[in-house]
Amino acid sequence: DIQMTQSPSSLSASVGDRVTITCRASQSIATYLNWYQHKPGKAPQVLIYHSSTLQSGAPSRFSGSVSGPDFTLTISSLQPEDFATYYCQQTYRTPITFGQGTRLDIK
């Protein structure tokens, strides 16, 4: 199975901050990496797919990139509604696997 290692596991930040979350796969996944936002009591929502493509309807402050083995989700300027848990997901090969999540809290 492909293991996804996400960091950090938690993060405290303030409104307006720039935030980055990283995910690394245990083997090559090409660019088949997606990012989801998950809020309590709601279903996850895809923000970025294929590493760097912004999902229709997702705010433009979210962006994704890849450098070598590392995939990064960046929020350029945190908004109050962005405090949530974020997950990476590889869909290169089954079983599909998620990172362990990054909980983003208000500082």
Report the residue from 38, 54, 61, 66 that binds another protein according to the rule CB under 8 A: 38
The answer to whether 34 and 48 are in contact (CB under 8 A) is yes
**Cα-to-chain-centroid distance, residue 102:** 8
Quick check: 86 binds another protein (CB under 8 A)? no
Amino acid identity of 104? L
CB of 97 to another protein, least distance (A): 7
Contact between 5 and another protein by CB under 8 A: the answer reads no
Nearer to another protein, 49 or 62 (CB): 49
Strand ranges, E, within the chain: 4-7, 10-13, 19-25, 33-38, 45-49, 53-54, 62-67, 70-75, 85-90, 97-98, 102-106
The one among 7, 52, 74, 100 contacting another protein by CB under 8 A: 100
CA distance 96 to 91: 5
Nearer to another protein, 83 or 92 (CB): 92
99 binds another protein (CB under 8 A): yes
Interface positions with another protein (CB under 8 A): 30, 32, 34, 36, 38, 43-46, 49-50, 55, 87, 89, 91-101
